[in-house]
Amino acid sequence: MKFRVERDQLADAVAWAARTLPTRSNQPLLSGLLIEAQDGGLVLSSFDHEVSGRVETEAVVDEVGRVLVPGRLLSDIARALPAQPVTVVVDGSRVTVNCGRSTFTLPTMSVDDYPTLPQMPTSAGVVAGPSFASAVAQVAVAASSDETISFLTGIRLEMTGPVITLAATDRYRLAVRELPWVPESQSIDAAALVPARVLADTAKTLAAQESVTIALAGSGQDEGLLGIHGGGRSTTTRLLGGEFPKYRTLLPAESNTVASVDTAALVEAVKRVSLVAERNTPVRLHFTGDEVSLTAGGGDDAQAVESLDATVDGEAIDIAFNPRFLLDGLSVLEAPVVRFAFTVSNKPAVLAGAAERGADPSPEFRYLLMPVRVG
């Protein structure tokens, strides 16, 4: 095998494919990156039995072939190479990477024993890369990081006609985003529970792509597989098992108090007052008249108070939140104004974005946040 490739193209492709390599695995082969040189270009792949990545890139291939090389090492090398064309040659069990006046020789691994990557399932539809990336980022904050409850570490994708609904919850908050897409079939009605970290990471790397294909394995042997494809990069991931909570029933139908606050100002204020909120103590919000006052700490400990202008409709309310959960929601709102809807102080609050104070909330994103009970 022998090929020549531009340094930037190699570095980008290797970095992307190496991103899902397992850091520790009892199967050393899986730490390898598969390079396939074909007529017209290269295909780089990685696979850890859960997630596969496959990226195509242009190259001048002098001799076709396949080789499995230590992935992280190649990624580190590719990143450090000078900006000159790179020549890669396999000679026996060694692979030589030549760039300018530097030469690296790496051992190879047995390519014959490398597992076969899953087939990309058939396309279910197409979304725009930028909005898909932002939608996934919006809900991913609410996914749990506790691997022992695996089904809460996922993002649920519901593909219903022309809309994809994304949802994630760790039981303390729930983020729901609706996103228009172009399904292969207008009558599609399917759902998948995708590991949040993989989806967020993949969507982010495809944020610049005009169109991203979402593929879902139907019934058959590849059941439980989701594929995402865009710009020559394909990722497949196994789906998570377990039953995702029936979240739609959690969204309150009505509210007693509606309040709008400038998002950026609230973020700053929460960050400031929560400096005195020791671990696991909440920040308390009191909405009344035309302001919201924030307090944290108290008792014998340090205390902080700050107030902000707000537009409040309905009854005054006192409610306490975990400051991190509140900030997570505010930080992904992507709107100048946050609109809170409350019922009572021990029931969830609904956060949504709005264009200005007092305006109607934008319907596509909701962040449901469960309060903290104090005293």
Partner 1 sequence: MSRSQIRRGARPEGLGTDDDGCTVLHVDMDAFFASVELRHRPELRGLPMVVGGESGRGVVLAATYEARRFGIHSAMPMSRARRLCADLVIVAPDHHSYTEVSASVMALFASITPLVEPLSLDEAFLDVSGAVRRMGSPATIGELLRARVHDEQGITCSVGVASSKFVAKLASTRAKPDGLLVVPSDEVIAFLHPLPVDALWGVGERTEEQLHRLGLLTVGDIAHIPESTLQRALGKSLGAHLYALSWGRDPRTVSPHESEKSIGNEETFASDVDDPAVIRRELLRLTEQVARRLRAAGVVGRTVSLKVRFADFTTITRSRTLPEPTDVARDLYSTTVQLYEALGLQRARLRLVGVRVEGLLDADGAPEQLLLDAPEHGWRDAERAADAATRRFGRGAVIPARLVTPHEQADE
The site for partner 1 (CB under 8 A) is made up of: 146, 148, 169, 171-174, 245, 250, 280-282, 320, 322, 346, 348, 368, 370-375
Q: Rank residues 230 and 323 by Cβ distance to partner 1 and give the closer one.
A: 323
Q: Rank residues 75 and 144 by Cβ distance to partner 1 and give the closer one.
A: 144
Q: Rank residues 130 and 245 by Cβ distance to partner 1 and give the closer one.
A: 245
CB of 259 to partner 1, least distance (A): 20
Q: Rank residues 88 and 283 by Cβ distance to partner 1 and give the closer one.
A: 283
Q: Rank residues 233 and 284 by Cβ distance to partner 1 and give the closer one.
A: 284
CB of 193 to partner 1, least distance (A): 16
Beta bridge partners of 295: 284, 305
Q: What span, in angstroms and rounded, lies between the C-alpha atoms of 121 and 15?
A: 24
Residue 36 · residue 66 · CB < 8 Å: yes
Q: What span, in angstroms and rounded, lies between the C-alpha atoms of 227 and 215?
A: 5
CB of 251 to partner 1, least distance (A): 10
**Element (H or E) spanning 287, and its range?**
strand 283-288
CB of 208 to partner 1, least distance (A): 35
Q: 265 — phi, psi (to 5°)?
A: -65, -40
Closest CA to 152 of 241, 48, 252: 241
Rounded to 10 degrees, what is the CA torsion of 58, 60, 64, 67?
-60
**Element (H or E) spanning 65, and its range?**
strand 65-70
Q: What span, in angstroms and rounded, lies between the C-alpha atoms of 75 and 94?
A: 17
CB of 120 to partner 1, least distance (A): 35
Q: Rank residues 226 and 296 by Cβ distance to partner 1 and give the closer one.
A: 296
CB of 368 to partner 1, least distance (A): 7
- For the chain, the residue count is 375
CB of 198 to partner 1, least distance (A): 23
Q: What span, in angstroms and rounded, lies between the C-alpha atoms of 320 and 72?
A: 45
Q: Rank residues 125 and 282 by Cβ distance to partner 1 and give the closer one.
A: 282
Query: Which residue's entry shows tokens 């305006």?
Result: 359
Q: Rank residues 71 and 371 by Cβ distance to partner 1 and give the closer one.
A: 371
Q: Rank residues 285 and 372 by Cβ distance to partner 1 and give the closer one.
A: 372
Sign of CA dihedral 330, 170, 361, 308: negative
DSSP string, 122-155: PEEEEEEHHHHHHHHHHHHTTS---TTSGGGGEE
CB of 83 to partner 1, least distance (A): 46
Q: Rank residues 329 and 371 by Cβ distance to partner 1 and give the closer one.
A: 371
Other C-beta atoms closer than 10 Å to the C-beta of 177 total 22
Residue 304 · residue 275 · CB < 8 Å: yes
Q: What span, in angstroms and rounded, lies between the C-alpha atoms of 59 and 69?
A: 18
Q: What span, in angstroms and rounded, lies between the C-alpha atoms of 273 and 180?
A: 38
CB of 22 to partner 1, least distance (A): 18
CB of 252 to partner 1, least distance (A): 11
Sign of CA dihedral 350, 356, 359, 364: negative
